[in-house]
Structure formats: structure tokens, C-alpha cells
Homo-oligomer: A and B are copies of this chain.
Amino acid sequence: MPKKKLHETDGPTSYDVASLAGVSQSAVSRAFRKGASVAPKTREKIMRAAKQLGYQPNAFARGLITKRTHLIAVVLSNLTNLYYPEVLAELTQRLSATGNRVLLFSLASESDVDAVLGQIWPYRVDGAIVAARLSDEQIQQFNDRGVPIILYNRVGDMAPASSVCCDSAAGERELVKQLLNAGHQSFGIIAGPEDSYVGEERLQAARKALLNTGIEPFFHRGGFDYESGAEGLRALLDQSAGKLDAVICTNDAMALGAIDCARNVFELSIPDQISIVGFDGVGPARWSSYQLTTIRQPVRRMTQAAVSMLIERVENPGMIPEQRLFGGELLTGKSARLG
């Protein structure tokens, strides 16, 4: 019984290409690597044979030896968030452009992180970009396994990890400052879930900026989604007995919900009777019905940084983790009176 090709369904191997091109298997291998030393003539023969057979090197066999899989794990918490699709699109684009592939994981709930990690390890990813809350132990697992990791809009509390963030505090301070300048007096804050890192950052920053001027804001906690923005507005209006001046939402989705609720339920005129601001700068924020005043995260620069920092660490394992903080851009829409 012949050894070769029991099942013809198994796709061509480098041996098939080799014999068709009349060279050795290792010649084929070289022809498909970048820094190879192959005679142009030979290479051409090989490439032709390969094309004819539809041959493509098996990434699994290659990865087994080189220990470079060109796989990057991307972990996101909630894909349905208005903000993440843009991030994911950019990341995928940039990673592809640098010859890497995206292994995508999305968390149903933050508690699934360990399960996801267990799914990542077998694939020996070259690195990971994570926009989800990781414990120090979880970060440490990446370090222990020598997998470079970039935290996106998060930082490691103790464990060392590179990170890329938008400066939440600066953004909120700017918003508060401008709202105060415009003469607002009665503030409300609609915050995100407690387990969101940026959510808490923004909340603290906004609150502190207000407290500094002696203002104690009304407060409601939502879930970062449109509906909870509407609920939040209701709650704040209730707490403040209606004399609410300005509402700071810790993301855009909630701000949009709050705007709609203010207009459609309470028939408030925006920004005349009430100012509402958000954070992120998502697409719908620019829609003409909203024209939300918000802080736009520099997504392109951030994803760009995340990818290049990651690649750098993949190629240079010894590097010390680096933190990069990006300033947001104030989008002055028409949902708030600024000073």
C-alpha cells in the first residue's frame, strides 16, 4: 500500500509541490519564507507548481516549529456596545496589515474571563489585546506564559502590563469646567456599571471636579446602555425635584438615552433647559437629532498604538510594559451650553 496520500482530500503538502517542481521539500519551504536564500529560477518554478496545486503552507505545522503563530487574541467584553465595533474594526484592519490574524473572544459576562483564558492558551497566541477587566492574577498568567498583552482602556492595578487608554479624567474635567463656565448649578451624573474601569474613572473625575467647586451632584448608576440613560434621567429629575441643570453621562449611549427621555418624556428643551454630555464620540452622537457634546476618543491613534506596541513586544520579549494615555477631543455639539 502506497504511503503517500491515502486520502486525496488532505490538501497538497510541500512534498507534493516539491516533486511537481522537481526540487527537494526544503526548497519549497524556503521559497515560502521571507529571508530565504533561493535562486530566483528555482523560486519561480516552485511558486508555479504551488499555484497549480493550490498549495499554501500549513500554519499549524509552521507554528509548531517556529513558535510564532501570528495569532493575536482580541478579547472584548460587550460587542453590542456602540463603541467597540469601531475599535474591533480598526484592530482587525491593522493586525491584518501586519501579517497577524485575530482570534476573537467576547465575554457574555465579566466572570467568564477565566473560561476565555482557558480557550486562548491552547492556541499559543503571539499576543493579546484585552478590553475587559482582568484581575492581577489573570494578567500574571499572560506574563508567566510569555504572552505580551495590551490592556485597552484599562490598566493593571499591580501586575505589569502595557496599556492604551483615553484620558478619562482630563476629559471629564474639561466637560465640567465648561459646564460650570456656562453657569450650570445643579448637576447630575449617570454612571456606568461598577465593574467598568473607564466608567469608574470618569465618574470619579467628574465628581471630584464638581466637589472642588462645592457642588454635590445627584447620582444614578446605569449599565452603559441607551435604556439606562433614560432611566437615569428620570431618576435624577426625581432626586433633584426637577431643578436639574446639567447631566454628565459616562458614555454616549446613556447620554443619547437621556436626551431622548428629556425631550420625549419630559418635554425639556436641550440645551436650553438642560445640558447633557457624554463620553466616547460614537457615530450616533453626531446624528443631527443629537449633536451630542462629548469627548471623542482618538480611536484610530489608540488602536494604532495598541497594535504597534504589541508587535514590538512580540518581537522583543524583554521589553518593559509601557502605558500610553491619549487625550480626547472635545466635540462641541448642541446638547449642552458650554462656557
Contact = CB atoms under 8 A, between A and B. Distances in A.
A9 B67 CA distance: 11
- Most chain-B CB neighbours within 10 Å: which of A74, A123, A124, A263? A123
Nearest to A225: B283
Nearest to A259: B289
Nearest to A92: B106
Contacts of A78: 89
Contacts of A58: 64, 122, 124
A297 interface: no
Interface in A107-138: 108, 118-119, 121-124
A287 B56 contact: no
Contacts of A264: 288-289
A60 B64 contact: yes
A288 B289 CA distance: 12
A320 interface: no
Contact of A79 (B59, B85, B96, B287): B85
A280 to B, nearest CB: 14
Contact of A54 (B85, B124, B144, B289): B144
A101 interface: yes
Contacts of A92: 79, 104-106
A102 B101 contact: no
A339 interface: no
Nearest to A261: B288
A89 B93 contact: no
Given A56-B118, A56-B122, A89 B69 contact: no
A260 interface: yes
Contacts of A265: 288
A132 to B, nearest CB: 13
A290 to B, nearest CB: 8
Given A67-B10, A80-B283, A284-B284, A57 B105 contact: no
Nearest to A291: B264
Contacts of A101: 103, 105, 119, 123
Nearest to A87: B79
Interface of A: 9-11, 54, 56-64, 67, 69, 74, 78-80, 84-86, 88-89, 92-93, 96, 101-106, 108, 118-119, 121-124, 141, 144-146, 226, 230, 256-257, 260-261, 263-265, 283-284, 287-289
The 4 closest A-B CB pairs, nearest first, are A59-B122, A79-B89, A56-B121, A85-B85
